Amino acid sequence: MVRLLRLGVKVALLIVVAVALYLGVTFVQVWQASRSDHVHPAQAIIVLGAAQYDGTPSPVLRARLDHAIDLFERKVAPVVAVTGGRQPGDRATEASAAAGYLIGRGIPESSLRLETAGVNSWQSLASAARFLQQEGIEEVVLVSSPYHAFRTERIAHEVGLKGHASPAPNSAGGGATELVRMGRETVAVAVGRIIGHRRLVDLDERVTRVRTEVRDR
């Protein structure tokens, strides 16, 4: 009995160490990706959505859009796809707010593509992939906040795009806020790599539904 107990403790410790190492390696990958710019000539630039206020992009979204403008003006790609649907209570979609901002900054409307249904990164990239691939577009530059770079590349690969992250400067905050976001991304990447990012989204939606049901009882 004592031997079995000791064996169980050893196995548990090995599992804890293995999980800690896995999360540690994943955190380093997320951090390195946040500090790397993989931009190179592509067929389209995809801007991941973020909060907007009644049609006005939030500072985070504006930073991403400004970076996309810079890439477009450098002729990195001739098309800019903006993503993001309506969050609860919104009158405008993130994509429409982003498009209005880009047009106001001189980006031709003919160069824009809008994805207006997604409410998370996987949905947005999967939806954008469908209409971009109809135009023969697969090679894309992904613009989001630095902490999000590693996961966006993995999701893009999962939905059939050749994605290269180009993190937007000044879009992540700093200090403890950035560290918390890095931690969340580490967990999301670690789990998504095992079960797939689509399944991770499905799991998150189920958990949210259960929480809502429990709260409303």
pLDDT digits (tens, 9 = 90+) for 160-188: 999 999 999 876 666 677 788 888 989 98
Helix (H) or strand (E) holding 135: none
Structure-block tokens of residue 194: 């095992």
Cβ atoms of residues 65 and 75 within 8 Å:
no
Mean pLDDT of 22-34: 91
pLDDT of residue 210 exceeding 50, the answer is: no
How many residues are there in the chain? 217
Q: Helix, strand, or coil here: 204?
A: helix
Q: Distance between CA 149 and CA 214 in Å, rounded?
A: 34
In this prediction, residue 60 has a pLDDT band, given cuts at 50, 70 and 90, of: very high
CA–CA distance, 183 with 161 (Å, rounded to integer)? 26
Q: For residue range 77-88, list pLDDT tens digits in order.
A: 999 999 999 888
- DSSP for 105-117, written as a single string: TT--GGGEEEE-S
Mean pLDDT calculated for residue range 191-202:
81
> Rounded to two decimals, what is the model's pTM?
0.87
**Which two structure tokens, joined as six digits, stand for 61?**
């979204």
Q: Residue ranges per domain, the chain?
A: 37-173
In three-state secondary structure terms, 54 is coil
Ranking 30-39, 103-112, 123-132, 133-142 by mean pLDDT, the lowest is 30-39
- pLDDT, residue 182, reads 87
Fold of 37-173: Rossmann fold (3.40.50)
* Residue 37's pLDDT band (cuts 50, 70, 90): very high
